[in-house]
Structure 1
Amino acid sequence: MSFLFNCSENYTLESAMVRLEPLQPYHIPNLLTYSLNQPEIWTFSSIAAIGEENFKNYVQIALDQRKRQIEYAFAVYDKRTGEYAGSTRFYDIQLYNKTVQIGYTWYGKQFHGTGLNKHCKFLLLEFAFEKMQLERVEFRADNTNERSKAAMKSIGCKVDGVLRSNMLKLDGTRRDSIVLSILRHEWFEEVKENLKKRL
């Protein structure tokens, strides 16, 4: 029987290092510390998330978008440390076009450079291409966000181009967004194995 993705279902993606759990309100107490104590990780966020009320609203927006069947957010649990590390999500889900974007990804500073992100991306890409049977997975970032750009390129994303002045930032200015992607054949031909070797 073929797999049919449905935002109403609960999907947990898991490896020896990390578990991605469908984001729920009960995750807020475990994740709130990153909103209250690490404001620098939100520098490039397009949704206000600093402060308890803003963070609760941030989670609620993700839940509302899931109900609309266009986003699916996960809480990221690091099995090595026994801590919730951050969040990531599928968004702009277009099952008819067989495309999705991965983004809204953030982790506490202590998880940067630990390999956690690569494990998360492997699980998400594997699910997108091998379960959801998608043809394209897209990534976007502020074109000035060098950390994010380097992370996406390191997992095998190819640069499609830059969308100029395509988004309003929280400070009222506009951002240029770099667009990167991985195609289905690229995942099976090279990206999957190359990424697996780096886990």
Structure 2
Amino acid sequence: MLDHTPLTGAHARLEPLDHRHHDGLCEAVRDGELWNLGVTLVPHPDDVRAFIDEAHAARAAGAHLAYATVDLATGGIAGSTRFLAINEPYRRLEIGFTFLGRSWQRTALNTEAKLLMLTHAFEDLGMNRVEFLTDVLNDTSRAAIARLGAVQEGVLRQHMVMRDGRVRDSVLFSVVRPDWPAVKRTLTDRLARATPA
């Protein structure tokens, strides 16, 4: 089973998701009423406790490593993310279940959180492939993943059923080991531009 340690940068700290994050996570999902976005699976504030319980069960099964995304400037909980679809023998995993309150979207915190996760995946865990999946209708998420330097590989048709019953097609992106140095440079440069000297 993979190590589930905190990941810390200058702007963001990813802490293993626990019930101590409950109240902050509720505030994050209220920031923009994220549960109302039809292209995501963000929990309603009333469902955050169950979301955390599910993350714990997935961790115990060796399937997911869920994190709370902490804004180091304020100490506030900005959202959550996780490693999932973990396949150690084939050295691949997915980064997903990512959401941030509207106030933190397209910020240095989000960029650094992805840099921390990708660095951990490639440099600490020895992964060869990191995948990202998003709803074909989620233009914002697709653009954000592309800005990371991930390569769009295709569309998984009829991939998921959303809460409203809509059958979702998912867009598959990846970063593979040969891509990693350039992706890391891109994210590091973006962070340097976002951080005052």
The answer, yes or no, to whether TM exceeds 0.5 is yes
**How far apart in 2 are the matches of 1:165 and 1:128?**
28
Tell me by how many angstroms 1:37 deviates.
Answer: 5.6
The yes-or-no answer on 1:51 pairing with 2:45 is yes
TM-score, with normalisation over the residues of structure 1?
0.90
Q: Given that residues 141 and 179 in structure 1 are in contact (C-alpha distance below 8 angstroms), is that contact kept between their aligned partners in structure 2?
A: yes
Q: Does 1:130 align with 2:123?
A: yes
Equivalent residue number for residue 60 of structure 1: 53
The TM-score normalised by the length of structure 2 is 0.91
Q: What is the total number of aligned residue pairs between the two structures?
A: 190
C-alpha RMSD over aligned residues: 1.5
Unaligned runs of 5+ in 2: 192-197
Q: In structure 1, which of residues 160, 183, 192 is the aligned counterpart of residue 184 of structure 2? A: 192
Matches within 5 A, 1:16-165: 16-36=10-30, 38-40=32-34, 42-43=36-37, 44-46=39-41, 49-52=43-46, 54-165=47-158
- Cα pair 1:13 1:19 within 8 Å, conserved: yes
| 2:194 paired residue number | none
Letter of the 1:26 counterpart: R
| 2:5 counterpart residue number | 11
Deviations 1:115-170 (A, max 9, x none): 22110000000000001000000000001101100110001100000011111010
Report SS of the residue matched to 1:198.
Answer: helix
**Unaligned regions of 5+ residues in structure 1, if any?**
1-5
The AA in structure 1 aligned to 2:186 is N
Q: Quick one: distance in 2 between partners of 1:31 and 1:13?
A: 18
Matched, 1:172 2:187: no
